[in-house]
Amino acid sequence: MLRFLVRRVLGAVLILFVISAVTFFLFFALPSDPARLSCGKGCTPELLATIHHNLGIDRPLPEQYWSFLTGIFAGRDFDGQWCSAPCLGFSFVNHQPVLDTLLNRFPATLSVALGAAALMLTVGVGLGLIAALRRGKTVDKVSMAACLVGASVQIYFFGIIARYLLVDELQWLPQPGYTSPFAAPGAWFGGMVLPWITLTVVNAATYARYTRSSMVDTLGEDYVRTARAKGLSSWGVYIRHAWRGAMTPVVTTFGIDLGLFLGGALITETTFNIHGIGKLAVDSVANSDLPMIMGTVLVAATAMVLASIAVDACYAVIDPRVRLR
Amino acid sequence: MTPPSVQSGPFLSVRDLQVRFATEDGVVRAVDGLSFDLRRGQTLGIVGESGSGKSVTSLAVLGMHDRSRTTVTGRVTFDGTELIDATEKQLQSLRGNRIAMIFQDPLTALSPYYTIGAQIAETYRRHTGASRSAARARAVDLLGRVGIAAPGRRADDYPHEFSGGMRQRAMIAMSLVCDPDLLIADEPTTALDVTVQAQILDLLGDLQREFDTAIILITHDLGVVANTAHEVLVMYAGRAVEHGATQQVLTRPRHPYTEGLLRSVPRLHSDVDEPLVPIPGSPPSLLAVPAGCPFHPRCAHRERVPGDDCVTRRPALAEVGHAAACHLPEEPREVLAQQHLQP
């Protein structure tokens, strides 16, 4: 177990290093110049060069990347302003420390991610289980058809329609948005309901379909027949024996989705104007804000690699034949 | 005059069992009019090729067929209880408790996700409501009785940590945990190698004597039946074609199909260059079972039957004694038997 963790964490660091390097160099491959934005209308070549110098992007790329890396581990000096480790630099746009902004934005993303993940897992797996147990019956056909519809709509379509109907017209839900759950739990919940429902409608179909097909396969397994021959109730057979075996593909997909959500649900956050990591990423790309882009990419990548480690650990918990090394 | 007691009759009685599946290609008559009796402490061997209806019979007895697409008719009486129209609840309380099953491949038949001990204890707790610790103690006790060394430690192992033979022992321990009156063993030794096969069959015999369990032993292997079963029922295309005491059926077969099966089994005492004689052709599709005697297209003795009875008339199987469902007159049938008198 320890060996597994050490190995996977080292692997994760390597992956993050590669991703950050690729992002960094890709940014400079873009034709856009981050200095243009702050240079404004009366821009002269001299002024542009000064801004380049101030942003530190006039130096050779490898040198810049090296400064970025050392900043993370040892802190970094920005023209007399000390940024202590782990330092991700200052935003090109509002000159705030990137790390502070990320930490400030993360709770909103976390709220969207955890709530949506819990809801879509419950709805998706629940529908899949029911469909599998009643396969060929009306419940099965109706829920699978509903899943097809759910999987086909887009967040920015469903989200906006739902917002118009439920918030603006019927006024059943408050305006979506993030408030701190510690300051105002009710407002936090109300503001999160619509994003959760939207992400669930769009994603639950995958879980329902995986659960259904995986359950149908598992119900045909010999050990499920044995469970019935032991005289277990239908519930005991389905839940204790069949479901356990059917969970693996669901866990795999769930790990990936949770990783994606924690890295910022780009479209959802933009659609509902929630100031999380996802919206931050979209905004910083639009503003050519390199340090902020690096920060959001690192958050997303970290969420992804941690989720994949968690998925592998879950396999071992579910299936005793899997050994972690 | 005392009323006839239920106990005095056969312990398991199957009469005219019919199992039909609806498929896209038509109706499959998997079991077509099967009847047999079984007494306590006795072993009935059901023999036949794949698709002859052996396994379907055992699943239908326990009501474990897919009810949405299977029709089961006939009567199955187990110790006075009618099983065919029993509710799922009634069947659940019998399964694993009074009627237990052992399956062919213990690796796939045991759940990979729970320890051996937990799987055995689960059956016991389900039917007795015993405490966790009592159920575990019972599981360990049974693992010891089926010959697993250090059962207290091995109970915490998962099936993949057991060898094939040990898994089947564990499966047997699981089936015996509630002292069942009837054990249905569906090809219990087919997935095992020969030396382990013999050990498992011996074990079943020992346990049968100890618990006075009735056993239905389903197999395609006449060798397995020869050493363990008191009676043999030979199935072909969903029907019983021969039924009798094991010794009689194996030494004086009365049905050409049984004779064919016996000829295709290698014998230790026969000359090495004496060829094995397979039965020509292959078993019929259960969607289109031949009219008359279902075995007639493959039968070597058809010419000996006068007229066209084999093609038009379905031979009946007498319900008593050593019976065969065949139109052959007695005289040529004696000849059939003579060929097998020499071992």
Residue A13, φ and ψ in degrees, nearest 5: -60, -40
In the block, residue with structure tokens 């659960």: A211
Nearest CA in chain B to A226: B109
Residue of A53 and B13 predicted with greater confidence: B13
Indicate whether B211 pLDDT > 70: yes
Better-scored residue on pLDDT, A192 or B264: A192
* Cα–Cα distance for residue pair B183/B180, rounded to 1 Å: 7
Residue of chain A with shortest Cα separation from B62: A229
Residues 6+ apart with CB under 8 A from A265: A109, A112, A113, A116, A195, A199, A276, A278
Dump strand ranges (E) for A111-174.
Answer: none
- Do A257 and A127 share a structural domain? yes
Residue A91 counted as domain residue = no
Taking the C-alpha atoms of residue A80 and residue A65, their distance in angstroms, rounded to an integer, is 20
Number of Cβ atoms within 10 Å of the Cβ of A249: 14
Beta bridge partners, B235, equal B240
pLDDT confidence bin for B9, thresholds 50/70/90: low
Sign of the CA dihedral with A98 first, then A103, A104, and A105 last: positive
B187, two tokens: 């090809």
Complex confidence, ipTM: 0.85
A221, A231, A319: residue with CB nearest B127: A231
Closest CA of chain A from B53, distance in Å: 18
Asked if residue B7 has pLDDT above 70, the reply is no
Fold that domain B37-69+86-98+181-343 belongs to in CATH: Rossmann fold (3.40.50)
- Give the domain-ending residue among A83, A117, A142: A83
- Looking at the complex, report in whole angstroms how far the Cα of residue A214 sits from the nearest Cα belonging to chain B: 16
Domain annotation covers residue A92 = no
Contacts of B67 (CB under 8 A, 6+ apart): none
Domain contains A89: no
Structural domain including A234 reads: 98-318
Q: What is the mean pLDDT of residues B58-73?
A: 87
Contact A245 B126 (CB under 8 A): no
Q: Give the CATH number for residue A262.
A: 1.10.3720.10
Indicate if the pLDDT at residue B30 is higher than 80. Answer: yes
A76 with A163, same domain: the answer is: no
Residues in chain B whose Cβ is within 8 Å of chain A: 62, 64, 68, 88, 92-97, 100-101, 103, 105, 108-113, 122-123, 126-127, 158, 160, 174
Q: Please, what is the average pLDDT of chain B?
A: 85
- In DSSP notation, B129-196 reads ---HHHHHHHHHHHHHHTT-SSHHHHTTS-GGGS-HHHHHHHHHHHHHTT--SEEEEESTTTTS-HHH
Tell me the chain A residues in contact with residue B93 when contact means C-beta distances shorter than 8 Å. Answer: 231
The reported pLDDT for the residue numbered B342 is 44
- The SS3 call for residue A318 is helix
Residues A60 and A110 both lie in one domain: no
Q: From chain A, pick out residues whose CB is under 8 angstroms from the CB of B109.
A: 222-223, 225-226
- What are B123-154's pLDDT values in tens digits? 999 999 999 999 999 999 999 988 899 999 99
**Residue A190: inside a domain:** yes
User: CA end-to-end span of chain A, whole Å?
Assistant: 7
User: Which residues in chain A have Cβ-Cβ distances shorter than 8 Å to B94?
Assistant: 231
CB atoms within 10 A of CB B328: 23
What is the pLDDT, as a whole number, of residue B51? 80
Residue of A133, A217, A230, A232 to mutate, testing the B interface (most B Cβ within 10 Å of its Cβ): A230
Given a contact cutoff of 8 angstroms between Cβ atoms, the answer to whether B121 and B135 are in contact is yes
Say how far apart CA B303 and CA A155 lie, in whole Å.
77
Measured at the alpha carbon of residue B338, what is the angle toward residues B335 and B341, in degrees to the nearest 5? Answer: 165
Q: How far is A278 from chain B (nearest CA, A)?
A: 39
Domain with CATH 3.40.50.300 in chain B: 37-69+86-98+181-343
Q: Within this chain, do residues A68 and A182 fall inside the same structural domain, yes or no?
A: no
pLDDT of residue B319 exceeding 70: no
Same domain, A22 and A106: no
**Number of compact structural domains in chain A:** 2
Residue B3: how many CB atoms within 10 A of its CB?
A: 5
Q: How confident is the model at residue B341 (pLDDT cuts 50, 70, 90)?
A: very low
Contact A230 B160 (CB under 8 A): no
Classify residue B302 by its DSSP letter: G
Same domain, A113 and A74: no
Q: Which residues have C-beta within 8 Å of that of residue A163, sequence separation ≥ 6? A: A176, A194, A271, A272
Measured in angstroms, the CA of B285 and the nearest CA of chain A are apart by 23
Contact B95 A231 (CB under 8 A): yes
> Which residue, B259, B164, B204, is CA-closest to B43?
B204
The backbone torsions φ and ψ at residue B27, rounded to the nearest 5 degrees and listed phi first, read -95, 125
| Closest residue to B110, CB basis, from A226, A233, A244 | A226
Smallest Cβ distance to B93: which of A231, A236, A319?
A: A231
What is the rounded CA–CA span in Å between residue B29 and residue A21? Answer: 68
Single pTM value for the model: 0.81
Residue B278 pLDDT exceeds 50: yes
- C-alpha A18/C-alpha A297 separation (Å) is 12
3-state SS, residue A2: helix
What is the predicted pLDDT for the residue at A224? Answer: 93
Q: Report the residue of chain B nearest A233, measured CA to CA.
A: B92
- CA A154, A155, A156, A162 torsion: positive or negative? positive
Identify whether the C-beta of residue A89 lies closer than 8 Å to the C-beta of residue A102. no
In terms of CA atoms, which chain B residue is nearest residue A221? Answer: B108
For residue A260, give Cα distances in angstroms to A124, A297, A305, A310: 18, 11, 10, 14
Residues A190 and A280 grouped into a single domain: yes
> Looking at beta carbons, which residues of chain A come within 8 Å of B88?
234
With contacts defined as CB-CB under 8 Å, which chain A residues touch B172?
none
Interval B296-306 mean pLDDT: 83
pLDDT at B191 exceeding the cut of 60? yes
Chain A residue at shortest CA distance from B91:
A231
**Is the CB of residue B126 less than 8 Å from the CB of residue B157?**
no
Please indicate, yes or no, whether residues A130 and A202 belong to a single structural domain of this protein: yes
Residues of chain B above pLDDT 70, percent: 91
Domain-located, residue A90: no
In a domain, A309, yes or no: yes
- Please state, as a whole number, how many other Cβ atoms lie within 10 Å of the Cβ of residue B31: 28
Task: Name the residue among A226, A236, A245 with its Cβ closest to that of B103.
Answer: A226
Please tell me which residue of chain A has the smallest CA distance to B108. A222
Q: In a structure prediction context, what are the per-residue pLDDT tens digits for chain A, which is 325 residues long?
A: 788 888 888 999 999 999 999 988 888 877 777 777 777 777 888 888 888 888 878 888 888 888 888 888 888 887 777 888 788 888 888 888 889 999 999 999 999 999 999 999 999 999 999 998 888 888 889 988 888 888 888 888 888 898 899 988 898 888 888 888 888 888 899 989 999 999 999 899 889 999 999 999 999 899 999 999 999 988 889 888 998 888 888 998 899 899 988 888 888 888 888 899 999 999 998 888 888 998 999 999 999 999 999 988 888 888 888 877 7
pLDDT of B268 reads 67
Query: Per-residue pLDDT for B2 more than 60?
Result: no
Residue A323 covered by a domain: no
At residue B343, the pLDDT reads 41
